[in-house]
Structure 1
């Protein structure tokens, strides 16, 4: 029990340290482009044909605290986040939480749907492809994998939209049909969202699924050629039992260890795909914040994504400890 608490405390300390340094990197990257929200706002007004007093830039900087040193601005932002206050969006003049709270559940549910689709589809295909090497199914899976990896997600999204409109006379963009837009949540609206989300999940999960198929196939082929498999087969162990208990289990370990890193990858790909398919996720919101140099909104969204990555890594470590006895043995020795 003491070892469990020590291990948990150590993990939490590592997560807190990672989160802190992540916040510093995020703030520095957002502040890196030339100019700030004040200059972006002035440029926007000038593009609309308005005459702007040059002193207005200094007034805006002072109003939003942009004239303060970098360290002071970072600490004001990060200390507010630690207290649960995400601050005020510079571009909308609304609390950041009010801006993202309607999009955050949708984003998380869609990402969970994409992850589930990727693993539940790719792992069986990868196993079949390895056990039936050079079969027709193996060749089909390989071709599909290469196409999925070579084709950008937004191109697949555009093709899916065109097919839906041309052949099924259906608009598949947006999370809800027109009659449910602006309506309170209900079972009908929920199932309408589910029925319209599968195309987005399919599009976003295609490239990741292709990558997992290739890795599972390669790992399983490597395990099947190892001496312990040949020894177990020679002793008369059933083929199905042998394959599932040892090679498949070991081949999936690298997949489990990458779950945490898949979340930011999916959220990054989500930015363009959500723009194309008009999905109300955090991706387009962050893109707009970066364009307007709204450091508060963009920083909060990136920090949430980073937090999800840390949580995903923790889940990966936990699952890895459950399925790999070598990890458990190593931790017990420590």
Structure 2
């Protein structure tokens, strides 16, 4: 096991290095840089920047070298000093910006994830055990609707009905009068009153997808010869379901950790932008639009690191959960 973990850590380091190179190159593919975007913004406001101003700004932001020099400076600062750099747009350290948004992002995503699993698991099991029943058809129909409807469209529908019925636009995680207040029971209740909207919007597709996966996997296992043989020996249905088929059907929950963990950090970018959520998603989108390469690159690298770690955790848990997957039998 230790040998396997050592190999995976080496692979992870190589993967992250390759990702960092690709990320930095892609971020710099659009023409110009942050100074160019800043110049265009000043031009819209009727203000101009001289050539000396542009050169001074590029030197200040470390953009006067070529792309390889910029990448090497950024990469070595992260690896050797743990410094993610300064955000051009916000004039603040990148780690401060990420840290300020990390709490709300994790809170929204974790609650949404737990609610998604708690709802999807029993629905998927019921739909498989009671195949062709009214409940199965209802769960299947809801699942197809959830998969076919984009999250941002559900967010817009919520906004429309909120304006029509209550005369207000749902935005953020708190009402204006509570945002700057210290934590107390009133602020907590106000936040919970805002939290259910992003939880439903972001979790709809996840519930629909997991219900379909669990239903199909469990149906496949229930048709296996070992299930028929166990029934013939008189094994109670509930015990049989918990002992073998259901355990195998749990694989989707475990195998999704690799992509669920980064979602916990960034959330749904488009939904966060529409609902005005204080998450990392809108910050990443703004950094990409303004070519704030240190901020955008650092957020993507953090997500890549979490994805790689989540994939490793998924592999280890799958080897423990599924008796057909054993590290000792892998070549």
When the two structures are superposed, what TM-score results if normalisation uses the length of structure 2? 0.92
Q: CA deviation at 1:333?
A: 6.7
Q: Report the equivalent of 1:28.
A: 25
Q: Report the equivalent of 2:113.
A: 115
SS state at 1:275 partner: helix
C-alpha spacing 1:268/1:93, structure 2 compared with 1 (3 Å): closer
C-alpha spacing 1:125/1:106, structure 2 compared with 1 (3 Å): same
Q: Report the equivalent of 2:70.
A: 73
Q: Report the equivalent of 2:5.
A: 8
Counterpart contact for 1:153–1:269, Cα < 8 Å: no
- Consecutive unaligned residues in structure 2, runs of 5 or more: none
CA distance in 2, matches of 1:333, 1:303: 30
1:219 equivalent to 2:222? Answer: no
CA distance in 2, matches of 1:330, 1:310: 19
Counterpart contact for 1:259–1:312, Cα < 8 Å: yes
SS state at 2:296 partner: helix
CA distance in 2, matches of 1:133, 1:325: 26
- Consecutive unaligned residues in structure 1, runs of 5 or more: none
Q: CA deviation at 1:111?
A: 1.7
Moved more, 240-249 or 266-275: 266-275
Q: Report the equivalent of 1:157.
A: 155
Counterpart contact for 2:105–2:264, Cα < 8 Å: no
CA distance in 1, matches of 2:148, 2:203: 13
The CA deviation string for residues 254-291 of structure 1, in whole angstroms up to 9 with x for no partner, is 34212212344677771110111111000111111111
Moved more, 22-31 or 7-16: 7-16
CA distance in 2, matches of 1:321, 1:99: 37
Q: Report the equivalent of 1:279.
A: 277
SS state at 1:51 partner: coil
Counterpart contact for 2:159–2:170, Cα < 8 Å: yes
Counterpart contact for 1:61–1:67, Cα < 8 Å: yes
The CA deviation string for residues 190-241 of structure 1, in whole angstroms up to 9 with x for no partner, is 4533342122111101112111111111111111111111111111111111
C-alpha spacing 1:185/1:97, structure 2 compared with 1 (3 Å): farther
Q: CA deviation at 1:9?
A: 2.5
| Paired positions, count | 330
Q: CA deviation at 1:180?
A: 2.0
C-alpha spacing 1:165/1:211, structure 2 compared with 1 (3 Å): same
Q: CA deviation at 1:176?
A: 1.5
Counterpart contact for 2:143–2:211, Cα < 8 Å: yes
Q: Report the equivalent of 2:126.
A: 128
C-alpha spacing 1:128/1:109, structure 2 compared with 1 (3 Å): same
Q: Report the equivalent of 1:63.
A: 60
Counterpart contact for 1:153–1:207, Cα < 8 Å: yes
